[in-house]
Each structure stands twice: as structure tokens, then as C-alpha cells.
């Protein structure tokens, strides 16, 4: 297998590169390093220090000789992208080259524009490049469970059988994105589905749950710091469990947005890599557009905060839970039930329990409390969905333990 | 009412400007003149000559003094767009400022990129500009019936009540766009729906059928040539009935794509203006995202070709029907049934029968046979959905009367 990874320098991208290389797979990658710039733009950094790409490549080459290569470039540059496909002729393309943050897309018009431009038009470029230079390749595209929103129905894997006025059809399950970022992934979904139909491309569109975690089979920041992948904890790029863990190690209250009944699918980084490898190893038929719901478990964000609180307790750290004004516009209590059968059928088995994973994360993060403390002002939510500027800092809001006032 | 029209220079835009001005409504408009450039790019021109915008404005000012104003600019230019909203403070914004051709979006990667950039990001700019400078204004957005594709189900007006695994919900009817142009409109739909939800904007998203026609209450190219709106007949920008009529007046076989069972909703230009005015006069509530299916009748493209053939016969012109290879990837025989109740409930009544409209069109076009003949090579389909270049010219394909070979 010859895999091309778009977004090799990212949280998942670097982890996947090492994971596939460790399996003996030849991996080439591209990245425009936008994630490093964006995190800097919002005033933060990775809690766990990461190497430059050139140093990463040296490490990869030492660990997996000749398996990992890289070239810097932007998917919005069509000539660059076609050049990569022409030269590499990958049989699998894993597209992680999108701007992955909902809050970043909601900052203002410029950031919303950038998000949809980069994600939707970048993917459109990729689809045309594939049509012309890698029409047989398998596109593994990272979407998000957030494409579905929170309908008051079970969420199937992409499509559902329905009967309407006496006629039956199998149709795409309606999407209800809750931010311009989520919408960009919905737009991709429609574009990719179209090209499978009209050009016979083959694609796995992955509706992934919210990720968390620091360690993979190949990455252990505590033992081998040079393998580390990034770990963001700011309000813009930090996912909820990662933010809680960063808050926990500095003894900062865990920020629960609003009522805290928001329920989502979650998945550890190590298992995201397991799933992506399974997707790569099991390509769909030519012309097939296939959706995987990629998650381990469904939790609400208060349950998760309590789990992190207990994990911190096991390390002797006492933290409180803090309910902040929700910067997002979203249902805070709702029905949520998701089908996720396809990956388990192909062999996916969760690696660890949530508790085990949290213990590992706190162990990996505890050495970087200084780095988190230096940037602790970027953890509290400032980017609001109504565009009316920063939410109040946590210190000025009702702060309490375990009992929401909203 | 103070209406801002994005895309004032277009086929609908110019017609709507005069129609609203005639009702005594103050109309301001913007346009970047892209349609004129694109039609030139594909080697064609409007069959009916149209004035420059500055001459159009003089005519409008003579007919409806002080009612119509215009400023040149591009919706991708956020500062320009916010400037227009700041100055004009429209209470209604009719967004016709999108690239409206499916074939144009399928020419190549550059044109697909352009289409989604202009349409999706232009509309995104508009939504942010409205949030900040006209949050109470009513957005009347031109979508397309093509957003729905051809599901094997009745097509409701935007949303439908469904029951799935014992739970009920009212959800967006799934969209199945058949080109990058149609997809761009689906992307808009998701973005607009999101902003109604999170910012409380109010919008009417119009799923419009395929237009045809030359004449409106205010426009009569035969009597007052200076009022004319454009009339495209090339394979890229000409809609199917308009193309047939142009072919008829030069005695050219009417080109039916493939089997000819493709069935769509259709609407005359004069009634599109009637519907758009009704939408403007009946704004939704704040925060409401409302969908209108805007069409008069449903026809298959062979039935329409026969109707044009008969209308030509009434003028003494004998034309044959020609089945060409279908340049598109689409179902050529399928179920099609559409709800269109909301506009009739608000008072919409079709103005003329198809036959009456066709007679008028041929009467208006007959004076421009020379202009159509000069560009007749651009009528036959060249832009193919598979990107494999021009379809064979009609003259080299099986050509016959009334009996498809495919």
C-alpha cells in the first residue's frame, strides 16, 4: 500500500504517519503547516512540545527507514496537488488537510471564509486531481459526527431507509451542521458523494467523534519525547477532554459549557489511528461512497468532566467543575443515539477504557504544566457563536462545583 | 420597501428590477458583470441584444424615475458588500448573484472551483454582512429545484416529517445535487439555515424550477428593445426551453439529451418575477428559514421539445427533434412529483399557458435569427460531466425524428 496523507503535520496526521510506517506501509505526506500558525494566532501552543517537520522526518527515518516522506504545500494550489498525485500515484489518500476547529470558523467573516475556502475548495481540488491522476485510489476523508448535529432521531451511518407517502428510498441522512466548520464538512460530503457517482471515484467518508489522547502505539511523549504529536488545549483548537485534562494538571476548574448535557461520540487518538488503518486496508468498490461513524462511546460533557476529575484525584490533584456561559449555540440537553457498526465489523476493537486513557493522558501532561500555565488564559471560552465577542472570563462568571445555575 | 438585488444585470435580475420599480418599490442593485463575461468566454452572446448597465439605468430612470440605482462590485469583496449594506440598509435582499450554470461548473477544476468559491463564499460574505449591518432584513435567496436531485420520493418544500425507528422529527429533505453548481446551492442552503438558527436571520430559500421566456410585464423586446433582458441559448447558459426556441427559429433540430425522460419543474420568467415579488412582500419571522418550491408545472424534456415543435409549426417553421448523447450524468427516466403549495397560498397564479408563452418567445426571437445563426455552433452539448471533453457535434451523432436510439 502507498498512502498519501494530506495534513501530515497535524494531531492525527503525524500519529497516522508513524502508525502506518510501523506497519511497513509507505507513507508520503503534505502539509502547509497552517495548524501551527493558527494555534499561534490564537495565542497558544501545543502543551507537549513537537519537533519541526524536518526533525520529525529524521526521527521517522531512524525508526522506519525509507517509509516516510514529505513535501510542503497547500491543497488550494491545484498544480501542486496534481504534481504530488502525478509523482506519487498513491493507492490510498487520507485527507486530514482541513481546518478542524468549529470555534476558529466562528471568529469572524474572515475566518469563516477561510475555513470553507480551505476545506471545501481544497477538497474540490483533490477530487479533480484524483479524477485526472489517481482515479482508482481510495479517498479516506475525515468528516465529523458534527455533520449530523443533534436530530431527535437515531443517527444511522450516513444513509437511511425511509418510507415517505408510500414510497421507499435509501437517502442521505439529513445534515444539521452547527458551525461554519461543521458546514464545511457537510459541503465536502455532498461534493465527494457527487464525484463517486459521476466519476466513479471510491471514498470512505468518516464521521469521526471528538478525539482525545496523547499516546499511540508509536507515540509516547513521556518515554520518547521526539515522537510526540501536538496537544492543543486552547478554547479554539483543544477538544473537550484534552482541555479538561490540561485544566486538571494545572489544578484549574474544568470548564463545562452551559448545562453540560451536550452529548457526543468520542474516540481516543490511538483508536482513531486503528480505525483509519482499517479503512485504508478495506477499500470500497469503485464508484462507492461509504460512510463510517467512527467513535468508541457516547458521553455527555459533564460525565466526562467528572471522569477527568476522578482521574486527577487518582494522581492526587483536586479540581472542581466550572459551568461557564456556553459560547456556542447548541442544544444542551438532547437525545443522542448513534449507529457505529461498520468499523467493528471490519475488526475495530477499542484499545483502552476511558479511565485508562485519562490516566495515561494526565501522566503525559503532568510534565508540561508550566507550558499549560503560561497559556492558561486561552483555555476559557472567548469565541462566541453570536459574534458578540469574548464570553466573560471564567473568573467573572458563576463558578461552582457540580451544580449548574443555568 | 427598499430592495437590494445582487446580480441586477442578469436574466432574472434585470427583469426583477423593472418589475419591482414598476410597483413603486425602491430598488438598488449590484453586479460584477460576470454573466456577460462568461457567456463571451463560451463563445456566445445573448440572442436578444441588451444594453450596457449605464444605458439600462437611463431607461429605468425614464420609465420609473428615481426608483433604480446600481453600483458595480463583487460579493467576494467583503468590504464592498458591507459598504453597500451600511449605506443602503435594505429591508429585503434578493440574492441572484450566483453563477447559475451546471455545465459551466463542470468544464474543469478551475470552473468548479470558481463556481463554489463565488456562490458559497459570496453567500457566506453576505450572511456576515447581514448579521452586522442588516440583521432584520429578509434574505430572498435563489436556490434551485436541482438541489433535490431525482429521489424516488415525492419532494416536499424543503423539510419533511419523518418517523425513524419509532421517533419523529421534521428534518431537511436530503439533497442530491447533480453538478458542482447544484452542490454550491446545497452548500448555501446549509449555511443559510445555520445563520437563521444561530443569528436569527430570516430567509426565504427558493428552490426554483428551470426558467424560460423573454417577456415580462415590463419587458417586451419586440415593442421596446431597450427594456430587453438577456436570452442565452448556448449549451452552457441556455436553459432547455430557451435553447429549443432558439433552435426552432433557425430551423435547427431541437437537441434532446439522451432518452429525454428527464423531468423537472419549469417556470416562466414573468412568473418567476411574480413569485419573487410575493416572497419579498411576505417576509418570514425573525430566525425563520423558509423554503419555497417555485415552479409552475412539471414536464419531461421530450414533451417540451414537442411543444416547441408545435409552436414553431404554428409560425410555419418545421423542425425535427434530435436525440444527442447526454453530456450529463443523470437519470433519464424517473419518478418526479413535487410539492409547491406555499407560493399559491400567498397568491401566486400562473400568468400564461406553456403554449401561449412559447408563441410569445418565438415571436420575440424571430427577429434575431441572424444572431443565433452566427453562434449556432455553441448550442450543441460540448461540456460533459465525465470531463472527457466535448461530446460529438450533433451532425456526427445519430439524428432522427421522434425515435430515440439510446
- The complex's ipTM? 0.95
* Residue from B339, B315, B226, B213 nearest B268 by CA: B213
Question: Mean of the pLDDT values across residues A189-200?
Answer: 98
CB contact under 8 A, A171 and B194: no
For B2-396, which CATH class?
Answer: alpha beta
Q: Could you say which of A11, A82, A133, A185 is catalytic?
A: A185
* Alpha carbons B406 and B325: distance in angstroms, whole number: 8
* Alpha carbons B355 and B361: distance in angstroms, whole number: 10
* Alpha carbons A326 and A102: distance in angstroms, whole number: 14
B143 touches chain A (CB under 8 A): no
Sign of the dihedral defined by the CA atoms of residues B184, B186, B190, B195, in that order: positive
* Alpha carbons A360 and A346: distance in angstroms, whole number: 27
**Beta carbons within 10 angstroms of residue B400's beta carbon:** 13
Q: What share of chain A is helix, strand, coil (3-state, %, to 5)?
A: 40, 20, 40
Helix (H) or strand (E) run with residue A125 in it: helix A122-133
* Alpha carbons A345 and B219: distance in angstroms, whole number: 63
The beta-strand segments (E) located in B44-119 are 68-72, 92-95
CB contact under 8 A, B179 and A194: yes
Q: Give catalytic status of residue A388 as yes or no.
A: no
B81 touches chain A (CB under 8 A): no
Q: Give catalytic status of residue B144 as yes or no.
A: yes
Q: Could you say which of A82, A144, A195, A204 is catalytic?
A: A144
Report pTM: 0.95
Residue B393 has pLDDT above 60, yes or no: no
User: CB under 8 Å to A162, separation ≥6 — which residues?
Assistant: A168, A169, A170, A171, B153, B162, B164
Question: Mean of the pLDDT values across residues A246-253?
Answer: 97
Residue B384 has pLDDT above 90, yes or no: yes
Residue B182 has pLDDT above 70, yes or no: yes
To 5 degrees, how large is the angle CA A234–CA B195–CA A144? 50
CB pairs under 8 A between A and B: 141
Residue A344 has pLDDT above 50, yes or no: yes
Residue A396 has pLDDT above 90, yes or no: no
* Alpha carbons B161 and B146: distance in angstroms, whole number: 21
Identify any residues that bridge with B211 across adjacent strands, giving them in sequence order.
Answer: B267
Average pLDDT across chain A, whole number: 95
CB contact under 8 A, A152 and B132: no
Q: Could you say which of B64, B185, B189, B289 is catalytic?
A: B185
* A323-338: pLDDT as tens digits: 999 999 999 999 999 9
CB contact under 8 A, A190 and B183: yes
Q: Give catalytic status of residue B299 as yes or no.
A: no
Q: What share of chain B is helix, strand, coil (3-state, %, to 5)?
A: 40, 20, 40
* A348-357: pLDDT as tens digits: 999 999 999 9
Question: Mean of the pLDDT values across residues B159-178?
Answer: 96
Residue B395 has pLDDT above 50, yes or no: no
Taking CA–CA distances from B388, the nearest residue in chain A reads: A132
What is the number of alpha carbons within 13 Å of residue A90 lying toward its C-beta? 28
State residue B292's pLDDT score.
98
User: CB under 8 Å to B377, separation ≥6 — which residues?
Assistant: B43, B393
B180 touches chain A (CB under 8 A): yes
B124 touches chain A (CB under 8 A): yes
CB–CB of A58/A52 below 8 Å? no
CB contact under 8 A, B116 and A112: no
Q: Provide the shortest C-alpha distance from residue A92 to chain B (in Å).
A: 21
B79 touches chain A (CB under 8 A): no
Which residues of B are less than 8 Å from A330 in CB distance?
Answer: none
Residue A279 has pLDDT above 60, yes or no: yes
Give the three-class secondary structure for A380.
Answer: coil
Percentage of the residues of chain A whose pLDDT score is greater than 70: 96
Percentage of the residues of chain B whose pLDDT score is greater than 70: 96
DSSP B328: S
Taking CA–CA distances from A330, the nearest residue in chain B reads: B198
Residue B405 has pLDDT above 50, yes or no: no
CB–CB of B158/B185 below 8 Å? no
Phi, then psi, of B364 in degrees rounded to 5 = -70, -30
State residue A388's pLDDT score.
83
State residue B387's pLDDT score.
86
Identify any residues that bridge with B141 across adjacent strands, giving them in sequence order.
Answer: B95, B205
State residue B71's pLDDT score.
98
Residue A284 has pLDDT above 50, yes or no: yes
Query: What does A78-91 look like in DSSP terms, one character per residue?
Result: HHHHHHHHHHH--S
CB–CB of B360/B249 below 8 Å? no
State residue B338's pLDDT score.
98
* A160-169: pLDDT as tens digits: 999 999 999 9
Average pLDDT across chain B, whole number: 95
From the number of C-beta atoms within 10 Å of its C-beta (0-12, 13-18, 19+), residue B91 rates as middle
A110 touches chain B (CB under 8 A): yes
CB contact under 8 A, A169 and B176: no
A108 touches chain B (CB under 8 A): yes
CB–CB of A371/A290 below 8 Å? no
Residue with cell 482541555: A243
CB contact under 8 A, B121 and A117: yes
State residue A395's pLDDT score.
40
State residue A404's pLDDT score.
33
Residue B379 has pLDDT above 90, yes or no: yes
Closest by Cβ to B164, choosing from A132, A153, A191: A153
Give residue A389's pLDDT band: very low, low, confident or very high (50, 70, 90): low
From the number of C-beta atoms within 10 Å of its C-beta (0-12, 13-18, 19+), residue A79 rates as exposed
Query: What does A249-271 look like in DSSP terms, one character per residue?
Result: HTTPPEEEETTS--EEEEEEHHH
* A18-58: pLDDT as tens digits: 999 999 999 999 999 999 999 999 999 999 999 999 999 99
Question: Mean of the pLDDT values across residues A86-90?
Answer: 96
Closest by Cβ to B121, choosing from A116, A129, A177: A116
State residue B388's pLDDT score.
83
B135 touches chain A (CB under 8 A): no
Closest by Cβ to B191, choosing from A168, A183, A385: A183
Show the cell assigned to B305: 421539445
Percentage of the residues of chain A whose pLDDT score is greater than 90: 95
A331 touches chain B (CB under 8 A): no
State residue A392's pLDDT score.
42
CB contact under 8 A, B117 and A117: yes
Closest by Cβ to B194, choosing from A117, A177, A386: A177
CA distances from B352 to A108, B104, B213, B235 (A): 47, 31, 11, 26
Helices (H), B290-384: 301-314, 342-345, 354-365, 369-374
B388 touches chain A (CB under 8 A): no
A176 touches chain B (CB under 8 A): yes
What pairing do the DSSP bridges indicate for beta strands A159-164 and A167-172? Answer: antiparallel
Amino acid at each position: 500500500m502507498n498512502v498519501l496523507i494530506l495534513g501530515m503535520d497535524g494531531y492525527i496526521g503525524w500519529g497516522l504517519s508513524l502508525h502506518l510506517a510501523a506497519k511497513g506501509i509507505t507513507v508520503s505526506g503534505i502539509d502547509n503547516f497552517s495548524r501551527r500558525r493558527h494555534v499561534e494566532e490564537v495565542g497558544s501552543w501545543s502543551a507537549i512540545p513537537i519537533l519541526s517537520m524536518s526533525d520529525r522526518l529524521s526521527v521517522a527515518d531512524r525508526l522506519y527507514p525509507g517509509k516516510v516522506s514529505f513535501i510542503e504545500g497547500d491543497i488550494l494550489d491545484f498544480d501542486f496537488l496534481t504534481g504530488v498525485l502525478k509523482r506519487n500515484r498513491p493507492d490510498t489518500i487520507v485527507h486530514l488537510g482541513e481546518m478542524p476547529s468549529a470555534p476558529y470558523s466562528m471568529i469572524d467573516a474572515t475566518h469563516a471564509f477561510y475555513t470553507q475556502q480551505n476545506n471545501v475548495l481544497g477538497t474540490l481540488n483533490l477530487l479533480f486531481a484524483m479524477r485526472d491522476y489517481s482515479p482508482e485510489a481510495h479517498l479516506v476523508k475525515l468528516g465529523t459526527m458534527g455533520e449530523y448535529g443533534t436530530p431527535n432521531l437515531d443517527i444511522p451511518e450516513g444513509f437511511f431507509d425511509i418510507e415517505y407517502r408510500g414510497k421507499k428510498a435509501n437517502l442521505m441522512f439529513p445534515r444539521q451542521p452547527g458551525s461554519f466548520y461543521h458546514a464545511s464538512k457537510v459541503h465536502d460530503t455532498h461534493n465527494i458523494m457527487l464525484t463517486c457517482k459521476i466519476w466513479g471515484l471510491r471514498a470512505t467518508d468518516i464521521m469521526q467523534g471528538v478525539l482525545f489522547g496523547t499516546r499511540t502505539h508509536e507515540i509516547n511523549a513521556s518515554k520518547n519525547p521526539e515522537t510526540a504529536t501536538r496537544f492543543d488545549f486552547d478554547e479554539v483548537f483543544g477538544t473537550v477532554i484534552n482541555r479538561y485534562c490540561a485544566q486538571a494538571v494545572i489544578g484549574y476548574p474544568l470548564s463545562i459549557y452551559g448545562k453540560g448535557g451536550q452529548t457526543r461520540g468520542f474516540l481516543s487518538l490511538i483508536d482513531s489511528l486503528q480505525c483509519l488503518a482499517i479503512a485504508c486496508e478495506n477499500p470500497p468498490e469503485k464508484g462507492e461512497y461509504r460512510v463510517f461513524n467512527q467513535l468508541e462511546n457516547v458521553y455527555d460533557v459533564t460525565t466526562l468532566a467528572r471522569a477527568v476529575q476522578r482521574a486527577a484525584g487518582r494522581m492526587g490533584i483536586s479540581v472542581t467543575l466550572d459551568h461557564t456561559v456556553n459560547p456556542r449555540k447548541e442544544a444542551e440537553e438532547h437525545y443522542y443515539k448513534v449507529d457505529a457498526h461498520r468499523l467493528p465489523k471490519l475488526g475495530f476493537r477499542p484499545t483502552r477504557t476511558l479511565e485508562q486513557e485519562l490516566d495515561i493522558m494526565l501522566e503525559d501532561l503532568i510534565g508540561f504544566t508550566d507550558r499549560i500555565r503560561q497559556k492558561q488564559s486561552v483555555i476559557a471560552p472567548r469565541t462566541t457563536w453570536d459574534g458578540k465577542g469574548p464570553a466573560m472570563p471564567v473568573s467573572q462568571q458563576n463558578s461552582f462545583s457540580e451544580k449548574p445555575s443555568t
